[in-house]
Amino acid sequence: MINIVVISGAGVSAESGLKTFRDSGGLWENYSVYEVATPEAWFANPKLVTDFYNERRKQASEALPNKAHKYIAELQRAFNVNVITQNVDDLHERAGSKNVLHLHGELRKSRSTLDESLIYTIEGNNLNLGDKCEKGSQLRPHIVWFGEAVPAMEEAIPLLSRADIVLVIGTSLKVYPAAGLFEMAPENSKRFIIDPSDLEINLPKDVIHIKKVASKGMEDFIQLIKPYEHSY
């Protein structure tokens, strides 16, 4: 079966009402990355950091998957699909996508500050100071902060190397190492980008940029890949 790898970012959840990071009005306009999304921030002011992610978690839990998430899940009917997302929401899963790899962690999970292999599901929307792992140390959001390693890259890179079709949707491709995944797509793979903005990066000539919002762009994408549907 043809392998499709979807690399998604905040823009795929924009039509669900969740803010992107770098657009005008985006999250990083109202918050400083250094105050809420770094290990230093956590040491300096864990209350501010937990409050920030508690709010993100609440908003994500109230949001619903949009048409773009659903179209991506429907691709599974005809293709072997892996979604590699930078998003920490669970809207791909709630739309029905089976193979979702979260590069930057997951809002719904916490992890031990003592032993990073201890990962828990957060019940309700709040992680609180005083919530502890089974070894007695404080739990932190299970989020990859700026300056931290991205362990899921190890799983992502081989997926890219086997891709026949790569779809980038709703990401500014400004944050590495995630952005580097697109550059790892095999030369003979078909590459598409869905994003309503002009991207501030140089794209190889054969990349098709569908300059639309995620839901509309997915409709075009589905038509464009129709010829590959039965070529296995």
Catalytic residues: 104
Q: In terms of CB distance, is 21 or 52 closer to ligand APR? A: 21
Instruction: Report the relative pairing of strands 139-143 and 105-112 from DSSP bridges.
Output: antiparallel
**CB neighbours of 226 closer than 8 A, spacing ≥ 6?**
none
Residue type at 105 in one-letter notation: G
Does 105 sit near ligand APR (CB under 6 A)? no
Pick the piece of the chain touching ligand APR (CB under 6 A) from 6-14, 42-50, 110-118, 158-166.
6-14
Cα(70)–Cα(29) distance, integer angstroms: 29
Closest by CA position to 59, among listed 37, 27, 31 = 27
Which stretch in 15-23, 69-77, 112-120, 122-130 sits in contact with ligand APR by CB under 6 A? 15-23
Please identify which residue in 81, 95, 133, 214 interacts with ligand APR, judged by CB under 6 A: 214
CA distance 129 to 32: 21
Closest to ligand APR by CB, 3 vs 66, is 66
**Is 69 near ligand APR (CB under 6 A)?**
no
What distance in Å separates the CA atoms of residue 180 and residue 185, rounded to the nearest whole number? Answer: 9
Task: Determine the size of the site formed for ligand APR (CB under 6 A).
Answer: 22
Residue from 3, 112, 171, 189 that binds ligand APR (CB under 6 A)? 171
Residue 72: which of 9, 121, 26 has the closest Cα?
Answer: 9
Exactly one of 49, 195, 218, 225 binds ligand APR (CB under 6 A); that residue is: 195
Least distance CB 136 / ligand APR (angstroms): 29
Nearer to ligand APR, 2 or 152 (CB): 152
**172 touches ligand APR (CB under 6 A):** yes
Q: How far is the CB of 132 from ligand APR (least distance, A)?
A: 26
Site residues for ligand APR, window 17-36 (CB under 6 A)?
20-23, 26
State which residue has the least CB distance to ligand APR: 11
Contacts with ligand APR, residue ranges (CB under 6 A): 9-11, 14-15, 20-23, 26, 86, 104, 170-172, 174-175, 195-197, 213-214
